[in-house]
Amino acid sequence: MARVARAEPKPVAAAKPRRGADPIAVALAEPTKTRSPAKGSGTGPGKLTITSSPSALIYVDGRSTNQMTPKTLSLSPGSHKITLLEITSRKAKTAEVDVPAGGAASVAKKF
């Protein structure tokens, strides 16, 4: 059986935001970090509890989850970029969070 080599992801440079650019598009367009395993003694996915006031749409690593806060998500261990989009004001807030293997982490934001 032949082995297939996996190519490592190449870093992507972030585009400079234009004056008057949509802040949500800018926040979501930022490159995500390459995931590195978070320190922890557990194995498997970790739990991330996300809350905000008021409720907001949840994006994980630039991808919509089609879910709103409050929510607990099961994520792979490592670093993740969490973006919350408050629909009424169209404001976005982003946080980097390390999810430990088999552990728990949380993100809370106020708009």
pLDDT in tens, 9-68: 555 555 555 666 776 776 676 665 555 554 545 789 999 999 999 999 999 999 999 999
- Pair 82, 58: CB distance under 8 Å: yes
Question: Per the domain annotation, does 8 fall within a domain?
Answer: no
Question: Per the domain annotation, does 14 fall within a domain?
Answer: no
How far apart are alpha carbons 91 and 55 in whole angstroms?
12
Give the residues across from 99 on adjacent strands.
Answer: 78
Question: Per the domain annotation, does 94 fall within a domain?
Answer: yes
Position 95 confidence tier, pLDDT thresholds 50, 70, 90: very high
Question: Per the domain annotation, does 27 fall within a domain?
Answer: yes
pLDDT at 41: 58
Question: Per the domain annotation, does 76 fall within a domain?
Answer: yes
Question: Per the domain annotation, does 6 fall within a domain?
Answer: no
Model's pTM, two decimal places? Answer: 0.66
Question: Is the model's pLDDT at 107 over the cut of 90?
Answer: yes
Question: Per the domain annotation, does 109 fall within a domain?
Answer: no
- Pair 77, 37: CB distance under 8 Å: yes
Question: Is the model's pLDDT at 103 over the cut of 90?
Answer: yes
Q: What is the count of structural domains for the chain?
A: 1
Q: Supply the range of the domain harboring residue 59.
A: 23-33+46-101
Find, among 61, 82, 81, 79, the residue nearest to 69 by Cα: 82
How far apart are alpha carbons 106 and 88 in whole angstroms?
24
The mean per-residue pLDDT over the stretch 60-87 comes to 96
